[in-house]
Amino acid sequence: MLLSDFLRHELDLTGTHVGCEHGVCGACTVLLDGEAVRSCLMFAVQADAAEVTTVEGLSSKSEALAASNGDADGGPRLHVLQEAFREKHGLQCGFCTPGFLMTLIPFLRDNPSPSETEIREAVSGNLCRCTGYQNIVRAVQLAAERMGSEPGPLS
Amino acid sequence: MNAPHVGSSVRRNEDERLLTGQALFVDDVHLDGMLHVAFLRSDYAHARIKSIDLSTARSRDDVIGVYAARDLGDYWRPGPLLVPPPPIERLEFHQATQVPLAKDKVRHVGEPIAMVVARSRYEAEDALALIQVDMEPLDAVVDLEAALSEESPRLHEQLESNLAAHVIQEKGDYSAVVDKAARVIKRRFHFDRGASAPMENRGVVADWNAKSGELTVWDTTQAPIPIRNGLARLLDLPEAQVRVIAPFIGGGFGPKIMMFYPEEVLIPWLAMKHGRPMKWIEDRQESFFATTQERGQIHDAEIALTEGGIILGVRDVFWHDTGAYDPYGLTVPINSQCTLLGPYQVPNYYSEFRVVFTSKPIVTPVRGAGRQHGVFVMERLLDIAARELDIDRVEIRRRNLLAPDDFPHDHEIIYQDSAPLVYDSGNYEAALDKAVEKMEYKKFLEEEQGRLRAEGRHVGIGIVSYIEGTGIGPYEGARVTVEPSGTVCVATGVGTQGQGHFTSFAQIVADQLGVTPDRVHVVTGDTSKFNWGTGTFASRGTVVAGSACHEAAVAVRAKVIAHAAKALRADPGDIELVDGWVRVRTRPESCISLGDLAVRANPLRGAVTPGTEPGLEATAYFGPERGTTASGVHAMLVEVDPDTAMLKILRFLVVHDCGKVINPMIVDGQIVGGVAHGIGNSFYEQLHFDKAGQLLNASFMDYLLPTATDVPTVEVDHVETPSPHNPLGTKGVGEAGAIPVGALFAQAIEDALGEGAPEILEMPLSPNRLFELLSEAGYYNSPSQQE
Amino acid sequence: MQMSSEFVFAGSREKVWEMLHDPAILAKALPGTKRLEMVGEDDYAGEMQVSVGPVTAASFAVTVKLTNKVPPESFTMVVDGRGNAGYTAGEAHVKLTEQGPEATLMEYSADLDIGGRVAAVGQRLIDSVGKSLAKQGLESINRELTGPVAGQAGGRAGSGLAAFRGKTAITVVGVIIILAALFFFL
Amino acid sequence: MKPAPFAYHRPGTVEEALQLLADHAGEAKPLAGGQSLIPTMNFRLSQPKVLIDLGKLDDLRGIEAGRSGLHIGAMTTHTDVEKSPVVADLAPLLAETMPFIAHSQIRNRGTIGGSLAHADPAAELPAVMLVLRAQFGLLSNRGHRRVAATDFYTGLFTTALEPHELLATIEIPRPQKRTGYAFAEIARRHGDYALVGVAGAVTLDRKGRCDAVRLALLSVGDGPVTAAGASRLMAGKEPTEGLIREAAEVVATRDIDPPSDIHASVAYRRQLARVLVARVIGQAVRRAGGGAA
């Protein structure tokens, strides 16, 4: 069984999406021991003993590090990057979004102040049909800016 | 009074769920005992089915059921004609709609032949390999013109030929003006197919509860209510016993409309037959065959002009590829026919088209829905005319634009919605001026371009105009309810696929009820929540459903004021709604919360006054008299490297008019996303079919969606001419970005290459094709290449 | 897919004609044939199991008809191969011309439809595969022709199946190897 | 698009892996990073009966600088190669090429040995290995042998590897003096398979003439294609702009016999080769310290 199917259908972690199952679209990107990989190009058994992080683990895990934007009514606090996506309208249908987020987490860890070109290349393995990418780029810029003034996320 | 939310970039209500992986998409639905379905699809584009042997597949232990067409009994019948042709004189239309499973013949690659039900998708796919189908291959029908010849193989035996439709629309008398013209320009234009390619493929989950007699279907559809109604009819169930839910949808772009796709019809049938929940999720490879496509047309067009570049008339004869079936009627070619006229004064117009059956996947609207073709033909004709008449490209457009006082402007032909093609409003020159100024068009041509060329760089500018008929009827509805908690609930029948309806509808309602948009909970796409509607298509969601939300909110506001006036003992004219409170303007301390007022409006004792209704709730419907006319100008700077035939977009600008903007952030997002789609359709995306009707690039490896490194930053600006056809003054925007991009590429590339550039008469291009065009134009033989 | 090429065999035209009609030799040169039977005059049916590169276990049912036979000059093969991964169908024309006592020019051209999954996802490699396998197949035949086995070439009368099989193998193997080649990097 | 059933083994040692490979010869596929194999399996175009997962073979992972040059374990990921300072130092051409390989998510899983053994004609690494004159260490349960990269590639997706053998190590000699390297490719989109790619190395003599020119191209043949004609043409000559253009012409018209597909015709591939070869030689000459180009 593919890792993507295992996460979605055995663990019910349906935040990881499946868009092509041949390694092009990037929607299924998850972190394997902290690095971005395509979960449709791995068998679940290969992840044995590894740590897998999905989008569901992003907001809760980084809660302490998230920007101070938690809802007053106690809703889940978003990761700085998630919040930046929301502010900059970096998502429309939202299907590709978890893959972008999971690609960008290690990218921003390794490149805390990326240029626009670096950002675009970093997400060139993730397809989005809705946004035309520019608000995603702006969201990453905003997140990088905010993270620069705070402790790093998921590091 | 709060600052109005309509017109401001409110953050989206739906984002938090989407960003945290908590949004429900169809494939996220898990039900106890659920079974999985896989389809066996044809490898052939055109073949007769001689026999189907299901016995080996059926004998597997892990297979629950295997079905071919003959196993469906009476349930097997061709799908509905979704959009009947408009009332155009002399119109000829031959209906042939898709069937659930091919019975005697297959007519395109990927047409479903049989289906397997198993405990997992893996096992279902294992069993597909065991189904034996004996097929007799037939010659494929691929070329549009050849398809109409006597010798062509016929796709539908019951019809006389592969002609699906023949339509002529005329305005004035083109043949009378053509002789008087100073210049007549004739060209042949080609437009080829692309895929809608939403990131989420289609999917259907169905659950039959035999005890309650209720069928629930989760479907990636843009139009849940028509699907509910159709399924109820097909399955002989009361509409009230069928619930169709279009949850979060990962992009639609047209093909997720109420298609009654085979899988959409078969999965509910299987769920009822087996009494178990059933799931089918389209995989990416299936999507290239099983989901509808668009864009194949050939145009023979001509334009007649005066020496001064004034358009006397246009004649266009074209062929439209509808694929193997024509369930969506004539929407796409009529859009091409009508959109061709653009923002221009065209006194005489002759337009004739033939719709052709081919052995390729079905054609239905994809973002732009035929408008691209019309814009491409008209803009290219004007570019060529400008060159031949030695008039500046912008100037020739300016001379022909409709003026602000020309509205309403009747084009005297019939549009896809069966209404006359009448433009409601617009200010085309203002948009053109804005684009010219922002791009520094003159300065670029007079100074920059030459300087760059001296450095060996080929940079060109393009600037094109377009209009788009949007926001058509028939109607949408909405129900607005204030709950005792003070939360405002809005329910509509449209589906939503990322357009931000959860937010823009909330903004519209929030302004009427004096709450913030995050206090407005919007439900779309669930037939148990709202019973009437058509769907999200033709850039109509915000225009039509948004207007219905507005009307319902206005009605609730009136109820709020009436109840509050009584409760607060004030004159209704003195009541204001602010921050979730209802208060008396002159004495704000006298107030009641919206929630408390909702409780009072639903008394448990006493009596509701006869003639009134309980609760703070209202339902309203909105049916526009006719569609709204959005418009715009796109401009770009592009650099061509003739050595490699690769392009780089240096700048991209859109000036758009969608009337009143509800949420600028969302509107700009729609435009930029559309531009990306348009860039794909111009230089990256093309479905390549061979002469046997085989699709040669049915994967994301070879079908190239533009990525973040291919799409530039797009600057967006607006001109706002409100539509008179709806209370919000808004016009549609969902498709605008994609429509004129092909025409823009053609013009800008020609400009970049300069003297001796090949004439670009086709879309999409690619580096390979551009290299061929450059080779044919002798570019690589020129002395500059030899040194 | 259109393929055309020429190849010079080290042998006389009669000998090459015989070679091209000898199933025993061609089976050696072109592995993967599980079964091949004559089902009528110039009419054959069989099954091939091909395993090339990373592509494993692709099974094809094949039929072929020989037409327009002009010994020892030319013939046409009408090919039809079908399997789970796709199909191939079309015609191949073979023409032999004497170039000397021990040299024969074979010209062939094939126009084959390739359909199904292999056509849908394998385009990047179809051309390379066609070229590469045609060359390999013909070189194997040539080795047989010039090697010790050649002398034993008996050739069943009227049997064109070997030639067909060679051809089909070239085609079908070609179709299959592309499967190997899906994108990206291990 | 779900893979067909298969048996799965994950050996803990190289010996175990070689034994499994020998036991299942013919029906087993070694699974390295899986970034080519798994999509093929998802399409059901590849249905191996047995997969031998090399993922736990830590002995096959790692980068070391030896006296003779660089040793890279076959299971080292692309990302590790890309980020290695040792590689940047001892094989600058390899370091420069790595970012062209697909996308980061693929490079995080894909391995250098997997890519080299897969022998895709559009892959960058085989061409780079030819230019770097790499040696491959092959292991089987019968022993080991070394094969030069030039002898390793035998045809379309075909290598000198026997079914029971594993590619274990890649050895790259230290850079030569007065040598410049360069890599260039043109792809439809960032990270796609290149339409044409060129890896090159130019060694100049003390007088600035070409001592040796090595060029290998990808996506123009059955595997990596060496441009022998251009090398011969340039040997011993001063690398002038004119000579480079002439060499590019020789490559485009004589050294390669490129295929055509929906993305690039034969003529277009020749044109791209012409442009890229000139760019690569020019840059390599400049890096080697040559002035003329």
pLDDT at B622 over 90: yes
Report d(CA B575, CA B584) in Å as an integer: 5
Task: Find where tokens 């004996």 sit.
Answer: B134
Instruction: Kindly report the nearest CA distance between residue B676 and chain A, in angstroms.
Output: 5
Cis status of the peptide bond prior to B408, with omega within 30 of 0 = yes
For strands C33-40 and C43-52, give the pairing.
antiparallel
Mean pLDDT of all residues in C59-85: 84
Q: Among A60-64, B386-390, B605-609, which stretch is predicted with the lowest mean pLDDT?
A: A60-64
Residue C2 touches chain B, beta carbons under 8 Å:
no
Average pLDDT over residues C171-185: 32
Bridge-based pairing state of the strands D50-53 and D28-31: parallel
Mean pLDDT across the stretch B226-231?
96
Instruction: Residue D79: list chain A partners with CB under 8 A.
Output: 35
Q: What single DSSP character describes residue B494?
A: -
**pLDDT the model gives residue C147:** 59
User: What is the Cα D80 distance to its own chain's centre?
Assistant: 16
Rounded distance between C-alpha atoms, residue A143 and residue A145, angstroms:
5
Query: What is the dihedral angle through the alpha carbons of B676, B682, B685, B688, rounded to the nearest 10 degrees?
Result: 160
| Closest Cβ–Cβ partner in C89, C123, C183 for B137 | C89
Contacts of A22 in chain C (CB under 8 A): 182-183
How far off is chain A from D136, nearest CA to CA, in Å? 27
Residues of B in contact with A87 (CB under 8 A): 11
For chain B, give the percent of residues with pLDDT over 70. Answer: 98
Of A26, A43, A46, the CB nearest to D105: A26
Sheet holding B616-622, edge to edge: B520-523, B488-492, B476-482, B616-622
Buried b / exposed e over B370-379, threshold 16 CB at 10 Å, is bbbbbbbbbb
The confidence score (pLDDT) of residue A59 equals 82
Interface check C111 vs B, CB under 8 A: no
Cα–Cα distance measured from residue D11 to residue B334, given in angstroms and rounded to the nearest whole number? 63
In single-letter form, the type of residue at position D45 comes to: L
- Three-state SS for chain D is CCCCCCEEECCCCHHHHHHHHHHCCCCEEEECCCCCHHHHHHCCCCCCCEEEECCCCHHHCCEEECCCEEEEECCCEHHHHHHCHHHHHHCHHHHHHHHHCCCHHHHCCCEHHHHHHHCCCCCHHHHHHHHHCCEEEEEECCEEEEEEHHHHEEECCEECCCCCCEEEEEEEECCCCCEEEEEEEEECCCCCCEEEEEEEEEEECCCCCEEEEEEEEECCCCCCEECHHHHHHHCCCCCCHHHHHHHHHHHHHHHCCCCCCCCCCHHHHHHHHHHHHHHHHHHHHHHCCCCCC
Q: Chain B 307-346, CB below 8 Å of chain A: which residues?
A: none
Does B45 sit within 8 Å of C119, measured CB to CB? Answer: no
Q: So what's the pLDDT on residue C134?
A: 67
Whether D110 sits inside 8 A of C185 (CB atoms) is yes
Q: Can you say whether the dihedral through the CA atoms of B263, B265, B268, B273 is positive or negative?
A: negative
Cβ distance of C123 and B45 shorter than 8 Å:
no
- Tell me what pLDDT residue A62 has: 43
Q: Is C3 on the interface with D (CB under 8 A)?
A: no
* Confidence band of C53 (pLDDT split at 50, 70, 90): low
pLDDT exceeds 90 at position C162: no
Our CA-based measurement puts residue D7 at a distance from the nearest CA of chain B, in whole angstroms, of 15
| Cα angle: A132, vertex A138, A140; to 5 degrees | 110
Distance (Å, rounded) from C-alpha D234 to C-alpha D242?
11
**E strand or H helix at B335, and its extent?**
helix B331-339
| Contact D185/C at CB under 8 A | no
Instruction: Looking at the complex, report in whole angstroms how far the Cα of residue C141 sits from the nearest Cα belonging to chain A.
Output: 38
B681 neighbourhood in chain A, CB within 8 Å: none
Amino acid C24: pLDDT: 59
Which of B13, B14, B15 is the best residue to mutate to test the A interface, defined by the most A CB atoms within 10 Å of its own CB?
B15
CA distance A23 to chain C (A): 8
Q: Which whole-number Å values give the CA distances from A18 to A48, B293, B349, B535, D151, in the listed order?
A: 21, 21, 48, 26, 41
Cβ distance D36 to C185 less than 8 Å, yes or no, reads yes
Please state, in angstroms and as integers, the Cα–Cα distance from residue C34 to each residue in C45, C60, C140, D16, following that order. 11, 10, 19, 33
Q: 3-class DSSP state for residue A23? A: coil
Contact (CB<8Å) B707/D272: no
Between the two ends of chain A, the Cα-to-Cα distance in Å is: 30
- The whole model's pTM is what? 0.94
Q: What average pLDDT does range B265-279 have in this prediction?
A: 98
Kindly identify which residue of chain A lies nearest to residue C182, measuring between CA atoms. A22
Q: Edge-to-edge, what's the strand order for the sheet holding D210-218? A: D179-187, D194-204, D210-218, D225-226
Picking from A21, A38, A121, the nearest residue to D105 by CB comes out as: A38
Does B511 have pLDDT greater than 60? yes
pLDDT by residue (tens digit) across C91-117? 888 899 999 888 889 888 878 788 888
Which of B193, B768, B774, B780 is the best substitution to test chain D (most D C-beta atoms within 10 A)? B768
Interface contact D106-A107, CB threshold 8 A: no
Q: What is the pLDDT of residues B742-778, one digit of tens each?
A: 999 999 999 999 988 999 999 999 999 999 999 999 9
Would the pLDDT of C160 be above 70?
no
- Chain C neighbours (≥3 Cβ pairs under 8 A) are A, B, D
What is the nearest CA distance from D2 to chain A, expressed in angstroms? 8
- Answer yes or no: are the C-beta atoms of B98 and B362 closer than 8 Å: yes
CA distance D206 to A19: 56
Window from A21-35, B10-24, B578-592, C56-70 with minimum mean pLDDT: C56-70
The residue type at D184: A
pLDDT of residue C124: 82
**What residues contact D172, with CB distance under 8 A and at least 6 apart?**
D69, D70, D72, D90, D91, D94, D129, D132, D133, D134
* Interface probe, candidates B41, B106, B696, B704, chain C, greatest C C-beta count within 10 A: B696
Q: Which chains are within 8 Å of A by 3+ CB pairs?
A: B, C, D
Select the residue of D43, D111, D193 nearest C117 (Cβ to Cβ).
Answer: D43
Q: Average per-residue pLDDT in chain B? A: 95
The two tokens of residue B557 are 């506001």
- Summarize the confidence of residues B466-489 as an average pLDDT: 94
Number of H helices, E strands in chain A: 6, 3
Q: Is C180 in contact with D158 (Cβ distance < 8 A)?
A: no
Distance from the Cα of A49 to chain B's closest Cα (Å) equals 24
More confident residue, C143 or B260: B260
Q: Which long-range contacts (CB under 8 A, 24 or more apart) does C87-93 make?
A: C87/B43, C87/B44, C87/C113, C87/C114, C87/C115, C87/C116, C88/C112, C88/C113, C88/C114, C88/C115, C88/C171, C88/C172, C88/C175, C89/B137, C89/C113, C89/C115, C92/C167, C92/C171, C93/C68
Residue B59, pLDDT score? 97
- The nearest CA of chain A is from the CA of B37 a distance in Å of 15
Per residue in B85-106, pLDDT tens?
999 999 999 999 999 999 999 9
- Residue B444 per-residue DSSP state: I
Q: Dihedral sign, CA of A22, A26, A27, A31?
A: positive
Tell me what pLDDT residue C177 has. 34
* Average pLDDT taken over every residue of chain D: 95
Q: Does pLDDT of A63 surpass 80?
A: no
C interface mutation test: which of A20, A21, A22, A41 has the most C CBs within 10 A?
A22
C185 has a chain A CB within 8 A of its CB: no
Give the A window 7-36 contacts with C, CB below 8 Å: 22-24
pLDDT tens, A123-151? 999 999 999 999 999 999 999 999 987 65
More confident residue, B609 or D15: D15
Is B32 in the A-facing interface, judged by CB distances under 8 Å? no
- pLDDT value of position B781: 81
Whole-number Å distance between alpha carbons of B174 and B352: 12
Confidence tier at C25 by pLDDT (50, 70, 90)? low
**Quick check: D115 pLDDT over 80?**
yes
pLDDT band at B377 (very low <50, low <70, confident <90, very high): very high
Higher pLDDT, C160 or B229: B229
Distance from the Cα of A47 to chain B's closest Cα (Å) equals 20
Burial of A107 (0-12, 13-18, 19+ CB in 10 A): buried
> What is the predicted pLDDT for the residue at C49?
62
CB A65 within 8 A of CB A151: yes
Residue-level pLDDT at C143: 74
Task: Check pLDDT > 50 for residue C186.
Answer: no
C84 interfacial to chain B (CB closer than 8 Å): yes
> Which pLDDT does position B787 carry in this prediction?
35
Is residue B598 pLDDT above 80, yes or no? yes
| Least CB–CB distance from B199: residue in A129, A134, A137 | A129
Distance from CA of B330 to the nearest CA of C (A): 29
Q: How confident is the model at residue A61 (pLDDT cuts 50, 70, 90)?
A: very low
- Tens of pLDDT, residue by residue over D231-279, are 999 999 999 999 999 999 999 999 999 999 999 999 999 999 999 999 9
Give the distance from CA B645 to its chain's centroid. Answer: 31
Q: How far apart are the first and last CA of chain D?
A: 51
Taking CB atoms and an 8 Å limit, are D2 and A22 in contact across chains? no
Q: Which of C63, C123, C126, C185 to substitute to test the interface with B, most B CBs within 10 Å?
A: C123
Q: What is the pLDDT averaged over residues A87-100?
A: 98
At C33, the pLDDT band (50, 70, 90 cuts) reads: low
